[in-house]
Amino acid sequence: MMSLKVITPKQGEHYYQKENYYSQEESKKNSEWFGRGAQNLGLQGNVEGEDFTNLVHGQLPSGEKFRTRPPTHDNYKERAGIDCTFSAPKSVSIAALVNGDERLELAHREAVKTALTVLEDRYASTRVRINGQRQAISTQNLIVGQFHHDSSREKDPQLHTHCVIINATQTENGKWYSLRDDDIHSHRKLLGQIYQNELAVRVQKLGYEIEQRDNGLFEIKGYTSEQLKAFSKRREQIKAAAGENATPSERELATLQTRKPKGEEVSRSQLKEYWDLQAKALDLKSPVVQIPGKGEGVKGKGEAESDLRSKGQEERINTTFPFPFNLYPGEADFCKKSIK
């Protein structure tokens, strides 16, 4: 699934701060730049704190200010960007983080990039003055800082990536303007489904069976509903606050209203020990993984990256695999073309 919210410069600064169980160096390694706008600025690889902080405050690495509009009222809040957060299904998080199949972490990250690619190609735009009138134009470039996390506020395993889209995009004449985000908001559900579809295909390619759920999402086959619920304490809090039939907006409001401080620091080893204790109490077993010609079992991260990347882009979702879910009428063809 994908959630979306507008952030201020002050809120934007927090994304680079270390997770409770990450060292500062680990936090850096679990971040990366994305987008043609980032490339145009020479931003590649891991996110550097100074560059990111300058950008959320409206300043390019060169020192040039690209957001200079003065406040128009006392309650004015400067828009630093948008946080698009992509979260993996609970079963994927459990299989990756509790059962130890790190290939699924890479599958999640690649699915996020697929959705971001569609977002950048289709919905990146700004407004410029043409013949005396302000008009929207496509720019097809974004500056995105990705921050990969693997636990919820309730210390449950939860793969998710915060994609902070900076409020800036570049036009053909080289000038930087504020990002027009209308199309991003209006297509949020589609972007979330593209992420889900890409992840579902990658999960199946790794040898897992999946089950479609009534909400249009999927889970890996092999876990009971009780096991998934036990590792979903944060989700149960939100559901209790918003109600069973809440709209996406109502769920986001409940998320904010029930959010607690992150609490005391917990080391990664303590976190894993906590998960292992729960898994033992729940009699949690790894789902059956069937990979033709490769047998069963899981791989370490190095093997995982080599295995998936060696397959190349031609084995991404495209038309080789059927979409496992129904999208809006007429959108299946759009998605297949978008993410080749």
Domain-located, residue 72: no
Domain-located, residue 71: no
Domain-located, residue 122: yes
- pLDDT tens for residues 134-191? 899 999 999 999 999 999 878 899 999 999 999 999 999 999 999 999 999 999 999 9
> Domain containing 281: what range?
2-63+79-338
Domain-located, residue 268: yes
Tokens of 57: 């405050």
pTM: 0.78
Domain-located, residue 224: yes
Domain-located, residue 259: yes
Domain-located, residue 175: yes
Our count of domains for the chain comes to: 1
Rounded percentage of the chain residues whose pLDDT exceeds 70: 69
